[in-house]
Chain A
Amino acid sequence: MNAIGTPMKRREDPKLLTGEGKFVDDIQVAGQLWMGMVRSPFAHAKIESIDASAAEDAPGVHAVYTGAQLQEMELWIAPLPCAWPVTDDMVNPPHFPVAAEEVHHVGEIVAVVLADSRYEAADAAELVVVDYEPLPAVASIEAAVADEATAHSELDSNKAFHWPLIPDPEALDAAFANAVHTVDARFVQQRLIPAPMEPRGVLAIPSPHGGEITLYSATQVPHILKVMIAATSGISEAKLRIIAPAVGGGFGAKLNVNPDELLAVTLANRLGRPVRWTEPRSEAAFSTHQGRGQLQHIELAADADGKLTGVRVHIDADMGAYMMLITPGVPLLGSFLYTGVYDVPAFGFTCEGHFTNLTPTDAYRGAGRPEASYAIERAMDLLALEVGVGPDEIRRRNFLAGGEAFENLDVASTLTFDSGHYGPNLERALELADYEGLRAEQKRRRDAGERIQMGIGLCTYVEICGLAPSRALGGLNYGAGGWEHATVRLLPTGKAEVVSGSTPHGQGHETSWSQIVGDKLGIDPADVTVLHSDTAISPLGLDTYGSRSLSVGGVAIAAACDKVVEKAKLIAAHSLEASPDDIQFEAGVFSVAGSPDQTVAIQEVAFGAFTAHDLPDGIEPNLQEQVSFDPPNFAFPFGTHVAVVDIDEETGEVRLTDYIAVDDCGNQINPMIVDGQVHGGIVQGVAQALWEEAVYDDDGNCQNPSLLDYLVPSAAEVPSIVTDSTITPSTNPLGVKGVGEAGTIGSAAAVINAICDGLSPHGITDMLMPATPQRVWRAINDAKGGAA
């Protein structure tokens, strides 16, 4: 049996496509109260007074609470958590679910209405009259760095932390002092709105006599949420049950502990009634954190051949108004990747976090790593121009291990890359893209002076995933471990149940896990049921983010299967009257070495373990094993992306015409799921390059919070993507890496490199993201001297 490696269709999809899968908003309970949020229209203001009397008298309204009232009610014992205080002196202003005295971003909650329906809650929220005294707003990362106004009145600076990673400062200085070629480039990582298909939502159901609280939340992280809700609400962790039902995408946006979550739990607990809220799309730009938001400064030093000798990076990172769960850690996740796939002797990275009066930032698909990959991959193209070689050649000259295969390789950013083999991966992508043919076509168009010019962009990325070795996280001051838990049991009838601590929100865990367990136990994957996403069923886990599920959770499941087989082997040996040392296990059948007729199927062993009529001495009944797997290392997937664009030089329109991605995520459990992840990831990165940006005005108002103006691409905007793989197994027992974020990490740089490549005859070497038609047209126009 060989389920692993088979492109099986996702077993989740029929449920989700037919409405059988229930999302939070689909779950209805009697007696529920809807929250309606009163949100600040100002980015920074003092709350002078709040008059909720008209709202309190409105139809269906149960109560209206202001921030000050909620503080008096002592609903919580701690502010919303930041689990990653990256330095000991990090500034972290208290962040409560409802602002009491001062608001720090547009859309911050200042009062909450509880009503019988979501409509009455929305109507009543409009009736709450709030008197504000506006304060100067810090409405951009540039303004935050300038520090002329502060985002929090009680602070005298916007700077939250300074985080350095400079393993050898003298070597770094020497590299730049002795460099023949240098690159000095600045890039902007614009803010992005995550926009999962299902917005967030919460439903807290109390049990007034038992004291238990069940929270349904559209979350990626029910286990983390449980710990954090207990720590902030003061409700006993043992009384909390968190359920993430069907969850429609997250991309990091559902990796947090949000005001609405803490409000729903604590109000339900206090009032003894279910309390719920579903995020309207029109509030999502304020009620859910955003991604990216960085100013990057990267410098390269190289010798005469363009061989890198040093990389120096400084990042100014936009925290937004508050530190949320891992806000300050996001740029640090990228810190180790600014040397990319290259052999860089000397490296230095510094990051400063700054507060702004904008929606908080936090994890968004790739979280720090797309930013890093963008900076080094854009800078490598600039180095190629500087040295006078092609973008492919500059990469070949600099690959770690000379592009040859390696394992456990120490790199300058202090990590040890698990495995890599970069040379063949690049060559495969160039071959698939017909790189030489593309260059010939590009030259033809240039020579002919055609209106539609062609640009070709490369990105050879590496990323860090499989979060994470717990000790490494401890070293980074992260407030939790990085292990994952799995339980595997064989039921009396020979079917298997897997309990996964890693919690899916669209990834297809049920399908992939059944393939692993099917192969490991020698049973049909259809006989494997995967349980997850409910802390009462799966009490131990650390959930899904950072492309960790397979390389941590999947390995835990495989290890639990091994333990089940180990125990079953003892029972099989007993029933076959053989020594356990002589028992072989293959395709679900135990047999005695040398006596092929003496066999017992694992299903029969399972039944025997259940009846326990005839177990060997000292063996407990039942076949159930669990493993908490703490990965010894991260995993480092890599790949080469090639983007080809048409640029209409008259209008500035950029059209992505071809996209070739050769990714290496190690061994693949389900190549169809890998392909789907790569496709989605690429489109999300292309979207940053071409369409998406949360734009704010000088007062801190988001100019495009709706999906009308915030341009999430559709299938019509992207070409059919050509995907292929190389396979360089990781060092973990399954040889797997991760693939959920790789597409996003590789694609933005590939697209912008393509645009800059296409525009290079005009002397254009950079393009802000998103590369809007107006920006591209203006760049061309300016390059031509302004004659339109």
Chain B
Amino acid sequence: MIPAAFDYQVADSADAAVAALVSHGDEAKLLAGGHSLIPLMRFRLATPAVLVDIGRLSDLSYITDAGDHIAIGALTRHRDLETSELLGAQAPLMAAVAGQVGDPQVRHRGTLGGSLAHGDPASDLPAALLACGGSLVARGPNGDRTIDAADFFTGFLETALAADEMLTEIRVPKAAGIGWSFQKFNRRAQDWAIVGAAVQLGDAPKVALINMGSVPMRSAAVEAALASGAAASDAASVAGDGAEPPEDLNGDAEYRRHLARVLVGRGIEEAQS
């Protein structure tokens, strides 16, 4: 439980953090809330030579109304998402999911940007952003670019972020009045989902699955069924199709596919009610 030696730098601005990434390359990791990275370091599964601490960039912690979407600073803590009236009114799925991440201590430390950049298929917030149809703003040495959430998660714990880029903002389209649901199945309240489903209806219904593959994913089959007007139970029946979920002590692939069908079905029904 003792991490390998590393250098530690404090970034005083997003640009300074990017500059540090440029100069250290793959050797550096950004440290935000630390709730994904530090456990890996303590088990020496991650051994970055340099930690660039961006946790003090308070100007990247915000939730603001940006017209057609809600703009969220990458360093906004889960707890702030959970309790934001603005987010609760305009993107209620995102706020509700943030309130179910880990336990209160985790939610007070973990950041939205950190969770998304980690790209864990078992995490709640990537699925929420996928179901919301959100996008992400990345800053690199050549300035900012915007990445659609659907294009962001590229492999197991891999994202579209380049080694010299950091997330600065997450954009969630407004969805007031649109039906949604979040279904999280786990054995202890504080744990990652064994399987989870985030559902947001509307003109283009979106259904995202948690822990059903190597990346946070949307279920194209369910979305297509919903778009063609299928009943909830019929749409849910294809939820596990094509998925290659992980197998672990909590469930094998067959059980996870079954859970995906059950949870998506419950999610659609709740979102439609």
Which A residues contact B (CB, under 8 angstroms)? 118-119, 122-123, 126, 280-283, 650-651, 653, 690-691, 695, 703-704, 706, 708-709, 711, 713-714, 716-717, 772-774, 777-778, 788
Contacts and interface: CB of A to CB of B under 8 A. Distances in A.
Interface of B: 1-2, 4-5, 39, 42-44, 103, 185, 187-191, 194, 248-252, 254-255, 258-259, 262
27 contacts: A118-B2, A119-B5, A123-B4, A126-B44, A280-B1, A281-B1, A282-B1, A282-B42, A283-B1, A650-B262, A651-B185, A690-B187, A695-B249, A709-B248, A711-B188, A711-B191, A716-B189, A716-B190, A717-B189, A772-B250, A773-B187, A773-B255, A774-B255, A777-B255, A777-B258, A778-B255, A788-B258
Contact of B2 (A122, A714, A777): A122
B258 A280 contact: no
Contacts of A653: 185
A282 B262 contact: no
Nearest to B254: A788
Given A118-B2, A777-B255, 11 more contacts: A119-B2, A280-B2, A690-B187, A708-B39, A709-B249, A711-B187, A711-B191, A716-B188, A773-B194, A773-B255, A778-B255
Contacts, number: 61
A273 to B, nearest CB: 21
Nearest to A773: B187
Nearest to B1: A280
A774 B190 contact: no
Contacts of B191: 711
Given A653-B185, A716-B189, A717-B189, A774 B2 contact: no
B263 to A, nearest CB: 8
Nearest to A117: B2
Contact of A651 (B1, B2, B262): B262
Nearest to A36: B2
B1 A774 contact: no
A708 B255 CA distance: 21
A710 to B, nearest CB: 9
B251 A774 contact: yes
B252 A774 contact: yes
Contacts of A709: 248-249
A770 to B, nearest CB: 9
A282 B258 contact: no
Nearest to B265: A650
Contacts of A704: 249
Contacts of B259: 651
Most chain A CB inside 10 Å of its own CB: which residue of B2, B43, B254: B2
B194 to A, nearest CB: 7
A255 B53 CA distance: 43
A282 B43 contact: yes
Most buried by B among A695, A713, A774: A774
A284 to B, nearest CB: 10
B191 to A, nearest CB: 8
A704 B103 CA distance: 20
Contacts of A122: 2
A281 B1 CA distance: 7
Nearest to A713: B188
Nearest to A703: B249
Contacts of A711: 187-188, 191
A152 B187 CA distance: 38
Contacts of B187: 690-691, 711, 772-773
B182 to A, nearest CB: 16
A691 B194 contact: no
A778 B248 CA distance: 15
B1 A714 contact: no
Nearest to A648: B262
Nearest to B187: A711
Nearest to B195: A651
Nearest to A653: B185
Contacts of A650: 262
A714 B188 contact: yes
B103 to A, nearest CB: 8
A706 B248 CA distance: 14
Contacts of A695: 249
A422 to B, nearest CB: 35
A690 B188 CA distance: 10
Contacts of A126: 44
Nearest to A121: B2
A650 B252 CA distance: 16
Given A119-B2, A651-B262, A714 B249 contact: no
Contact of A123 (B5, B190, B194, B262): B5
Contacts of B251: 773-774
Nearest to B39: A708
A280 B3 CA distance: 12
A689 to B, nearest CB: 13
A39 B5 CA distance: 21
A704 B4 CA distance: 22
Contacts of A690: 187
Given A119-B2, A280-B2, A774 B250 contact: yes
Contacts of B185: 651, 653, 773
A706 B191 CA distance: 13
Nearest to A199: B1
A282 B42 CA distance: 9
Given A118-B2, A280-B2, A714 B189 contact: yes
A651 B187 CA distance: 11
A651 B249 CA distance: 16
Nearest to A278: B1
B183 to A, nearest CB: 10
Contacts of A778: 255
B47 to A, nearest CB: 11
Contacts of A788: 254, 258
Contacts of A691: 187-188
Contacts of A281: 1
A446 B4 CA distance: 57
Contacts of A706: 43
Contacts of B39: 708
B155 to A, nearest CB: 22
A714 B254 CA distance: 28
B83 to A, nearest CB: 19
Sort A-B residue pairs by CB-CB distance and give the 4 closest, nearest first.
A716-B189, A280-B1, A122-B2, A282-B1
Contacts of A119: 2, 5
Which residue, of A123, A690, A714, A773, has the highest number of chain B Cβ atoms within 10 A?
Answer: A773
A102 to B, nearest CB: 27
Contacts of A777: 255, 258
A717 B249 contact: no
Contacts of B42: 282
B188 to A, nearest CB: 6
Contacts of B258: 777, 788
Contacts of A123: 2, 4-5
A653 B103 CA distance: 20
A119 to B, nearest CB: 6
Nearest to B42: A282
A695 B250 CA distance: 12
A617 B114 CA distance: 81
A729 to B, nearest CB: 40
A172 B158 CA distance: 65
Nearest to B257: A788
A774 B5 CA distance: 41
Contacts of B5: 119, 123
Nearest to A281: B1
B249 to A, nearest CB: 6
A588 B249 CA distance: 61
B211 to A, nearest CB: 14
Contacts of B249: 695, 703-704, 709, 772
A711 B188 CA distance: 8
Contacts of A716: 188-190
Contact of B188 (A118, A280, A283, A717): A717
A700 B43 CA distance: 20
Contacts of A772: 187, 249-250
